[in-house]
Amino acid sequence: QVQLVESGGGLVQPGGSLRLSCAASGSIFSINTMDWYRQAPGKQRELVAGITTGGTTNYADSVKGRFTISRDNAKNTVFLQMNSLKPEDTAVYYCYADITKRTPFSMTPGSRVDYWGQGIPVTVSS
């Protein structure tokens, strides 16, 4: 099976920084897009940033210039560097990956599936 495991969240003061990581493991043939989403209390989940296999990125307007998404394809890991954090960045952050699974007992590509991490809380407060 495939798992996404996030790390790096926590409590930070306004203006501070955090770096989130999300590592994918399991029967993976390839990983296509990797994204970070967030969901604040009482709000819908929203896309924060995304990155393709080739490194093309996109960001929500609210985080442009403050957040940077990157990935290490060799380690199946995506990162989110968050700087100049604001209280409105407080949310549970979720990692998403569009993954082509490896066919069992083979190195050939199998089905393409969406995977989500378990979510990691980020709190920005003084």
pLDDT along the chain (126 residues), means of 10: 95 98 95 97 97 96 98 96 98 97 85 95 97
> Do β-strands 10-12 and 120-124 pair in parallel, antiparallel, or remain unpaired?
parallel
Q: For residue 66, what pLDDT is reported? A: 98
Using CA atoms, how far apart are residues 90 and 40, in angstroms rounded to an integer?
6
- The pair of three-digit structure tokens given for residue 51, joined into one six-digit string: 């990155």
DSSP state of 124: E
Strand pairing partners for 80?
A: 20, 69
